Amino acid sequence: MDMRFLSTKVHGAIDYIVGLALILAPMMFSFQDIGGAAVYVPIILGASLILYSLLTRYEWGVFKLISMYYHMVLDVVVAVLLILSPFLFGFVNEVPKAWLPQVLVGIVLVVIVLFSKTEAYDNTVIG
């Protein structure tokens, strides 16, 4: 049984939602006053996620320049950066509302990649 049950269309919708949520995370979780990497990492990674989603060859892509395979590689890179950023940039000792959402979103992104299909609903390979 294939564990990849999330369609590329669903994956794409999640991409834009997660990207926007990362950009807004400092305001949503009230840690914008902390400043530094705790604030800028989710904003930069959220904007990056939206940018490469716009460039992906899937239903939600606008410019369709990169394959779904490379898109998912970038998803994993973003996820790892989100998970490690509190430790790499030294804000793990800040209040949990600054780093916990980033770590959780990173973990969720990895799970989304594991469960996402790499071809469209009509079996057209998108990559």
pLDDT above 90: residue 124? no
Q: What is the pLDDT of residues 44-74, one digit of tens each?
A: 999 999 999 999 999 999 999 999 999 999 9
Please give the DSSP secondary-structure letter assigned to residue 36. Answer: T
CA distances (Å), 62 to each of 53, 54, 65, 66, 109, in order?
A: 8, 5, 9, 11, 21
What pLDDT shows up at residue 120? 62
Q: CA 23, CA 43: separation in Å to the nearest integer?
A: 4
Long-range pairs of 97-101 with CB within 8 A, sequence gap ≥ 24: 97/29, 97/30, 97/31, 98/29, 98/31, 98/34, 98/38, 99/38, 101/25, 101/29, 101/42
Give residue-wise pLDDT tens across range 88-114.
999 998 778 889 999 999 999 999 999
Can you tell me whether residue 40 is helix, strand or coil?
helix
